[in-house]
Amino acid sequence: MRGSAALAAVVAGIWLLVAVVTQVLVSPALETLPTLVVGVVLTLAAVLGYPSFLRGRRERQARLARSARRDGHSHEPDAGDLAAAARSMSLRSGLTPEAAARTVRLLRPMLSGDSVSITDREDILAFVGPGSDHHRPGHQMRTEATVRASERGRTVEAKTPEQVGCRVEGCPLSSAVVAPLVVRSRVVGTLGVFQRGTATPPVRTVEDMAHILALHLEMAELDRERQIAAHARLDALRAQINPHFLFNVLNTIASKSRSRPDEARELLVRLAEFFRYTVRQEGHFADFAQEYYFVRTYLSLEQARFEDRLQVRYDIDPQVLTTRVPVLTIQPLVENAVKHGLGPKTGPGTVRLKARADPLGRTVSIRVSDDGVGMPDQVLRELTRSITHPQETAPQDGGAEVDGGGSDGAGSDGAETADPAEVGEPTPDERGPESAHAGVGLRNIIERLDFLYGDRYDLSVSTPSSGGTVVDLRVPLS
């Protein structure tokens, strides 16, 4: 409000000055149009230049305030400085000596302390300022104030050297505020701000910064838990080989070993390649070309078993082959199409795999479709809800429902796969459990995608009126 009033006063003064100069001091007086032009130009210059003037004034005031804090005239840190410090915290990666060292160097000027320390429950992780000769990282905590804050889980304010309680004689630290770092009701460390004089820094400021550090540590713990869960889920996908898939393939190989030994030998080689990729593939990502070869290997084994009842169509953009995609994600989608789409169907069926790269949109689009029996509406609704609200439908045990991704992984129900020639047309009730297990496998994929991409991916499942199921997946291009 004060800034607006000042600007209005400046504009009024400009017009008064223009009127006096052009109509009184100048002889003969200027005409109306030139007078208005001069007034408008000066007004525009004032209006446009005022924000820069005001911003410069505020910046000068901020510099003076920071200078005063450095000179010891004020202990109150600037809120903007604290916000900048919070954004730059290194403890987001966990309570490590390296992260603590970067953090104390950042916090020392912000908290108006001569010395700043971060500890865990027992040892000093980082210390900067006077007293660093004996408050050394890796050593046990030296002050009683820090020990009390860690043990009691409450902020300790020490106003005398005796209350600080340094165990080293001649320590220059005379006062301190030590706040605990509490993560999920557990004290994991402390933040200490020390002074050589008796004037302690504001307790509330130190506590607020300790809360910010604790929040970063809690987020780091959540990240570690998510990573552990994701690695465990991926390890399960790699290691859980469904015995019935193997049984069916070996039966197919045995049936061909006498009549077509060359084909049986080739199938054994492909089966070995299939399991080798499942076990040896490391990390969460792989080149699309590798996943594509893995899918083709799987489908070649299934085609040997289904023979003419399984047709496969590929439509792959060559640009996609060098991109990175989540490992063991495409094959479970294809396996769902084979087992739950075409397995219960009488007569031949087709599975289609289509992939496109969009360099402008920086995305990779993958579509797996079949012309099989489709998916019941109830299962489709549940699955759609799990895609849009994964937190409501995620397994509570953190991965007990994983279906093996490299071997019947997207939809295994633990029952032996029937010979395709003996499978009749199922009723909706008969294929409901199978489709439900397919939904479990897709939810497992969704959980992995959530971990890897957050909200930067799209997955949709639909059942066209012409029949079958279509799964569309779009992930960031990498």
Distances (CA, A) of 385 to 365, 367, 394, 444, 445: 21, 20, 11, 14, 14
pLDDT of the residue at 433: 46
Note the CATH architecture for domain 244-476: 2-Layer Sandwich (3.30)
Question: Nearest 5°: CA angle at 166, between 162 and 168?
Answer: 125
Assigned token pair, 222: 């959540």
Residues 6+ apart with CB under 8 A from 237: 328, 332, 402, 404, 405, 406, 409, 444
Spatial contact of 206 and 228, defined as CB atoms under 8 Å apart:
no
- The DSSP result for 71-85, as a single string, is TTS--PPPHHHHHHH
Measured distance CA(247)–CA(453) in Å, rounded: 36
Is 23's pLDDT higher than 90?
no
Q: Which of 285-294, 391-400, 411-420 has the highest mean pLDDT?
A: 285-294
Percent of the chain with pLDDT over 70: 73
Measured distance CA(447)–CA(436) in Å, rounded: 17
Q: Model pTM greater than 0.85?
A: no
* Tens digits of residue pLDDT in 54-107: 555 555 555 555 554 444 444 455 545 555 555 555 666 678 888 899 889 888
pLDDT of the residue at 412: 36
Measured distance CA(28)–CA(32) in Å, rounded: 12
Q: Does domain 79-223 have CATH number 1.10.10.10?
A: no
pLDDT of the residue at 63: 55
Measured distance CA(125)–CA(119) in Å, rounded: 5
Q: In angstroms, how far is the first alpha carbon of the chain from the final one? A: 51
Distance of CA 239 to the CA centre of its chain: 26
Output Rg (C-alpha) for the chain, integer angstroms.
35
Is 376's pLDDT higher than 90?
no
Cα dihedral value 241, 244, 246, 247, nearest 10: 150
Q: Where are the domains of the chain?
A: 2-70, 79-223, 244-476
Among 170-179, 190-199, 270-279, 348-357, whose mean pLDDT is lowest? 270-279
pLDDT of the residue at 400: 33
Q: Is 447 helix (H, G, I), strand (E, B) or coil?
A: helix
pLDDT of the residue at 41: 80
Distances (CA, A) of 453 to 151, 285, 314, 325, 401: 40, 12, 26, 11, 21
